[in-house]
Structure 1
Amino acid sequence: MTRKWVIGGVLLVQALAAIFFVFDILASILGIYTPPVPWEIRELMEVGAALGLVLGFFLGAAMLRRIIRERNTAQERLRRASGAFMDLLEERFAEWALTPAERDVALFAIKGMSTSEIAALRATSEGTVKAQTNAIYRKAGVSGRPQLLSLFIDDLMRDDVTDQVRPKSAA
């Protein structure tokens, strides 16, 4: 909350500084009369406006660095999560003793492809793919694709707290 106020304050100072300089230039160009201000006050206003613009520049640069760092962190986490999901898939496929063909079919099914799409990709008949998916469901102990997918989602959503509370035999 405090950070938002600081950023808002700096942006306000920067906007006022920009308005000051733009108005000063336009007043000179258009010949708009402005009442005279003592030179000391005028100098303080110019210095304050310049400092506001410089402060805004440095704050903007710091925020940009932070945003880039956060984006890179998010990309790294996504990469790790993607790798973790693939590791989880391989672990479960090995646990269920899926054949290489069943692994391919299971992966395509988890990706949301239809039976006909899987058959076309694997250059097999739809009947073969249906038989393989039934074998996958039987080995995984599920009745269909939604339950198969939910097994992986549950594994990914499980955190350390649930692992500590849940007995090891149930994990």
Structure 2
Amino acid sequence: MTYTAGGARCEGPFGLCHFDGASAELRWFFALGRVQWVAGLWLSPIAWAIYELVEIGAITGLLVGMIVSASLLWRAIQRKKRVETSLRLASGTYMDVLEESFADWRLTPAERDVALFLVKGCTTAEIATLRSTSEGTVKAQTNAVYRKANVSGRPQLLGLFIEDLINPRLP
């Protein structure tokens, strides 16, 4: 038995092939065929119905994978929205805590502005520029904030609010 394909001429019962310029893929194909034949692993083609069932199973698996992936993506997006909402609420609540503390300390509106800028980390010069006042005025207001909050400086003032974040006030 002799047959040719893609520049390969095969003869004999074991499909011994002579390659005359055949591609590497074709050489591997025929070599694999020879190994299967010699090892007795040569299988007959599967029935059409079984092939179709395998294809249907593969398509079903792909569809299930797409549905599960879409579901997980939707859940992740919903969770992201909930976390962003919680973050916005927490940020708003933090401002409420600041305002509540300022009210408890009976700060004037100018002192409230200075205290807020202090908590944000602004320097005396930056606060003076933002409020269009002199640095001396800002220093006096800063000292009034520290005195009314019963702290000795900015680190202790910040510590009051950080403590509220770590251990919230009880109602």
Q: Is the structural similarity TM-score above 0.5?
A: yes
Q: Deviations over 1:82-134 (max 9, x none)?
A: 11111111100010010100000110111111111111001111111111111
1:156 aligns to 2:153 (yes or no): no
Cα separation, 1, equivalents of 2:153 and 2:46: 81
**1:135 CA drift (Å):** 0.8
Moved more, 120-129 or 151-160: 151-160
The TM-score, its normalising length taken from structure 2, stands at 0.71
Aligned to 1:65: 74
Q: Secondary structure at the match of 2:164?
A: helix
Correspondence list, 1:85-100, <5 A: 85-100=94-109
If each structure's helix is expressed as a fraction of its own residues, which one has the higher value? 1
Aligned to 2:48: 39
The structure-2 alpha-carbon separation of the partners of 1:148 and 1:102, relative to structure 1 and needing over 3 Å to count, comes to same
Name which structure has the greater RCO, CA cutoff 8 Å, separation 6+. 1
Aligned to 1:20: none
User: Which sections of structure 1, spanning at least 5 residues, go unmatched?
Assistant: 1-29
The amino acid that maps onto 1:52 is G
RMSD between aligned residues:
2.3
User: Larger radius of gyration, structure 1 or 2?
Assistant: 2
Cα separation, 2, equivalents of 1:41 and 1:116: 81
User: Which sections of structure 2, spanning at least 5 residues, go unmatched?
Assistant: 1-24, 34-42
The structure-2 alpha-carbon separation of the partners of 1:100 and 1:159, relative to structure 1 and needing over 3 Å to count, comes to closer
**1:159 CA drift (Å):** 4.7
The structure-2 alpha-carbon separation of the partners of 1:99 and 1:159, relative to structure 1 and needing over 3 Å to count, comes to closer
1:83 aligns to 2:101 (yes or no): no
Q: Secondary structure at the match of 2:76?
A: helix
**1:46 CA drift (Å):** 0.8
The amino acid that maps onto 2:102 is F
Q: Which of 59, 63, 69 is 1:54 aligned to?
A: 63
Matched residue count:
133
Cα separation, 2, equivalents of 1:70 and 1:159: 25
Q: Deviations over 1:60-91 (max 9, x none)?
A: 11111111110111011011111111111110
The TM-score, its normalising length taken from structure 1, stands at 0.71
1:113 aligns to 2:122 (yes or no): yes
Cα separation, 2, equivalents of 1:154 and 1:79: 20
